[in-house]
Every structure is written in structure tokens, then in C-alpha cells.
Amino acid sequence: MIHPLIGITADTDGAAYTLRREYVDSVRGAGGAAVILPCQPEFAAAIVDHLDGVILSGGDDPIMERWGVPTHPRAKPLDPERQAFEIALLEAIDQRPHLPALGVCLGMQLMGLHAGGSLDQHLPDHLASSADHWGRNAHRVEGEIGAGMVLSHHRQALTSAGSLRVVGRAPDGVIEAVRSDERPFYVGLQWHPERTEDPALGCDLVRQLVAAARTARESRPSPRV
């Protein structure tokens, strides 16, 4: 069996790069080989040329000046180098329509912003049910992506998805899942599938990414060097 290479973006913590093991475990469980990606914006295009799929992992909050609006004072800004790397990855993925990608939490938000969407930077300001999305609480989602309970941990959310299509929402209307219809697999999830117990909304979505990556790898006309 082909084990496609799935790159997973790492977070930063002082002098260390960090990533929860559940991301790697979920990829391994789906038959993929996980590769942890440190922040190297200048090498993003070269990196994706050696991958069969990408997971943009969760993390802190986007630095919104990049999209022409001030960052909310209650936000916890993302490491600037990590943001630069993830944007560079998304730009590189744009040029490789065969390459599957999955955005998780922050990753989905960056996907949406990159696609021309907009972001509510502090849900507690005007959403009475914002606590349902914080503290790693489980809550329900519904939509084309499926229906069930998911595990999330966020105080920001997309208010529009730009050129992406919304395929899942929470009962309070918060956008929970987006996708591109122009690519084999390009999906953003506001929840954490690697920690969600419902298989259909958890490990099965990672399996779909790995399956799409395997298909893309098998269909390449010649191996990369």
C-alpha cells in the first residue's frame, strides 16, 4: 500500500516547535505518513512539492492587519513567522490543484481569509452561546459535511467564507466547515477532528484526506526526485 506523505504545520512555543500527537496519530491511523513542518516561509513551495497532502493545524489567532483590519485587543496573535509560512503554503497549494488540504480551527480560518472571507475576532462580544465553542466543549454541527457532536476550542470564527462553500454550521449559526468545489479535497473544519469521538466527523475526515492524497500520488505521471 502507498503511504502518502502528509505535512502537518507546527506551532511555536518559545524556542520549540510543537504539535499535539493526536494529529500524527490520526494520520498514521488513516494510513498516511505524517511529516511535521516547521515554519519556513521561504521554502513553502519547495516543501509542498515533496508532499501528497497538507494539514494546517490549530493555533493562536490570525494577525488581521494582513487583511486590512486591526487585530482585536482580546486576540492572542499568532507567531508572525508561522502566519507567513501558512499563507505561503496556501499560496503554493493554490498552484497545485491536485494537492489535498485540511484546515483545522486556525487552519480553517486562514483558508477562509485567504479565499476572501471575513472573521469575527471575538465571539463573546455578541454571541450568547460563545462558551459552547470554548474550553474544548463538545457541541453539535449540521450540514452537508454531516451531523453530530464535535470538539472545538475557539473564540473566533469565519463570518463569510469567500470563494469557499459553507458545508457545516453549529446550531447558533457559527460556520463550522467549508470546502472548495474546484479541488478533489480542500476542506476546513472549525472543530478538531483528531480529538472528536464521532468517527464520521473525526477520524473519517482524516481518512478522506489521506485517501485523496493517495489518489493524487498514484496519478502523478512520474515520481518526484
What distances in angstroms separate CA 207 from CA 28, 117, 156, one per listed residue?
10, 27, 27
pLDDT attached to residue 213: 97
d(CA 104, CA 152): 10
Q: Is residue 225 part of a domain?
A: no
Domain CATH number, residue 101? 3.40.50.880
pLDDT tens digit sequence for 90-140: 999 999 999 999 999 999 999 999 999 999 999 999 898 888 888 777 899
Domain hosting residue 42, numbered range? 5-219
In a domain, 42, yes or no: yes
At 147-196, the pLDDT tens digits run 999 999 899 999 999 999 999 999 999 999 999 999 999 999 999 999 99
pTM for the whole thing?
Answer: 0.95
Q: Which of 71, 46, 49, 47 is nearest to 61 (CA)?
A: 71
Task: Judge whether residue 18 has pLDDT over 80.
Answer: yes
Q: Where are the beta strands (DSSP E) in 19-170?
A: 33-37, 53-56, 101-104, 118-120, 137-141, 148-152, 157-160, 165-169
H or E stretch at 93 = helix 80-94
Q: Does a structural domain hold residue 142?
A: yes
The verdict on residue 119 lying in a domain is yes
Domain count, the chain: 1
Nearest alpha carbon to residue 40 among 79, 4, 94: 79
